[in-house]
């Protein structure tokens, strides 16, 4: 799985920027040799950038 993610690194980085992601980590079976794309899930830990406060209306 890591090869697939590495091959889409630029696309993932653009999506993270669009959605305010500060940090994105992959963990679990996706990092091991027993990962099966047709059966395994993809575990992601997402940390978002601080949100901007909007003035009360």
Mean pLDDT by 10 residues, the chain (57 residues): 82 96 92 85 94 78
> How confident is the model at residue 27, as a pLDDT?
92
Contact 21, 49 (CB under 8 A): yes
> How confident is the model at residue 9, as a pLDDT?
92
Two structure tokens written together for 24: 């994105």
> How confident is the model at residue 52, as a pLDDT?
82
What's the CA gap between 46 and 16, in Å, rounded? Answer: 9
> How confident is the model at residue 1, as a pLDDT?
65
């Amino acid at each position: 799985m890591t090869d697939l993610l590495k091959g889409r690194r630029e696309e993932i980085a653009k999506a993270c920027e669009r959605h305010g992601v500060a940090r994105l980590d992959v963990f679990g079976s996706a990092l091991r040799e027993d990962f099966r794309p047709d059966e395994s899930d993809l575990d992601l830990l997402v940390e978002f950038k601080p949100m901007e406060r909007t003035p009360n209306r």
